[in-house]
Amino acid sequence: MPTTTQRGLTPLAATASLMFGLFALTGCSVLDTVMPKDEAVRDDKTSEVTEAGQADVFTIAVGDCFNDVDAEEISEVPVVPCDQPHDYEAYSAFDLAGDEFPGDEAVTQQAGDGCTPPFAEFNGVSYDDSTLYLGYLLPTEDSWTQQDDREVLCYIYEENVQTTGTLKGAAR
């Protein structure tokens, strides 16, 4: 069962980015390590994360690895180089169409529909046959209307286990 995550503007201490919880993230544990407090460092040429740190959720990109946060609404997530233990790996992104926010249920449905085919391409096994899971970062109604946010960012993960390295081609 996929997990969902919403990002967008929220009133809580200007935390504008994620709501872990339209449907609760299932199988995700609280970080066993201390969350980095500094901003993540990226390679100037490749944009790959080279040093762990915090990243605004709107800057998470395909290829980034990041960890879970034990909060309902957050503005940043801890990103790490993919060769370090991590909870999630972003594998695909796409924009939703439309001028008006279609509603949480429609956004979630479109995200699942849009993240499933590239999951098979990335993992090497269809989602239905895989032991791995997919999730997505979604626009909220506020981010849709106030920031023109239409992006869905798809991520892959192993339930209750941190991964070291990429899951690309894992075929499981």
Region 166-172: what's the mean pLDDT?
97
Percent of the chain predicted with pLDDT > 70: 76
Measured CA to CA, the distance from residue 117 to residue 128 in angstroms comes to 11
Q: Comparing 143 with 21, which gets the higher pLDDT? A: 143
pLDDT, residue 37, reads 59
The tokens of 6 are what?
Answer: 């919403």
In one-letter notation, the amino acid at residue 17 is: S
* pLDDT exceeds 50 at position 1: no
Q: In the chain, which ranges are E strands?
A: 3-7, 18-19, 41-42, 49-51, 53-56, 65-66, 73-74, 76-80, 88-95, 133-139, 151-157
pLDDT, residue 5, reads 53
* pLDDT exceeds 50 at position 157: yes
pLDDT, residue 14, reads 25
pLDDT, residue 140, reads 87
Region 139-165: what's the mean pLDDT?
94
Q: Comparing 75 with 141, which gets the higher pLDDT? A: 141
Domain ranges of the chain: 41-157
